[in-house]
Amino acid sequence: MRRLVVTGARGTTGAERGPAPTTARWLGAIVAIGLGLTIAAPPARAEPLPSGSMGILFGAGSGTGAYAHRLGIGYYQFGAQAAWQPMATERRVGWTLKWAFMFGTMYYADAARIDLYLRTLQMDFMAGIRVRPGASPRRYLALRGGVELFRSNELIGPSNQRAFVGPVAAAAFEQYAFGAFMFNVDVRYGLIGSGPSEIAVLAGASISVR
């Protein structure tokens, strides 16, 4: 009788209760719930970047090729720039339009026969593409080309003119900051094959415009 009672007690404690849940099963349930919430969550929406910008720029430049001595070397003490380049954060490539002008003072210029320095005004309009090189949606590279108006206070040989029009090209690095500003560094070359040619490095700061 005692053996039957003990056997019955053991049967109720093992088979009727069943196996206890393990840690692996709890982790599996948590992972499944997490995956379900991730799939059910709506996709992240693209955020539009500021479409336009307006600001100032300055820099330095030098004549190149046959115009190295005619233009000399100098700096751009003041300039302005404006750009229109609508783009959203999920896109890696977009288009861009840019307008700029700047006043320059060139030293050691052979073309400066009356004044001590050769003074220039350059105005250009360019179009091109912008590329996001990495994961950050605030950093871009731009390639632009367009037309430039070049004017000086003295005649520049060999054509002995003061005003020129011709092609110009530029490569730029652009960085958005604080949600309302954009900083840029441009390497610019022009006029290309049709007048005074020079290479310039320009830095600028702009206010973003929605």
pTM: 0.74
Segment 38-57, tens digit of pLDDT: 444 444 456 677 889 999 99
Domain count, the chain: 2
- In the predicted structure, residue 21 carries a pLDDT above the cut 60: no
Residue 46 within a domain = no
pLDDT, tens digit (0-9, with 9 covering 90-100), for 114-143: 999 999 999 999 999 999 998 888 899 999
Q: Looking at the structure, do residues 13 and 102 belong to the same domain, yes or no?
A: no
pLDDT digit string, tens, across residues 131-189? 999 888 889 999 999 999 999 999 999 999 999 999 999 999 999 998 789 999 999 99
Q: Assess if residue 98 is contained within a domain.
A: yes
Q: Reply yes or no on whether the pLDDT at 84 is more than 60.
A: yes
Q: How many residues does the chain have?
A: 210
> Does residue 45 lie in a domain region?
no
Please tell me whether residues 162 and 94 are part of one structural domain: yes
Q: Are 141 and 131 in contact (CB under 8 A)?
A: yes
Residue 32 — very low, low, confident or very high, per pLDDT cuts 50/70/90?
low
Two structure tokens written together for 104: 């320059």
Compute how many other C-beta atoms are within 10 angstroms of the C-beta atom of residue 83.
27
Query: Is there a contact between 59 and 68 (Cβ–Cβ < 8 Å)?
Result: no
Question: Does 107 lie in the same domain as 81?
Answer: yes
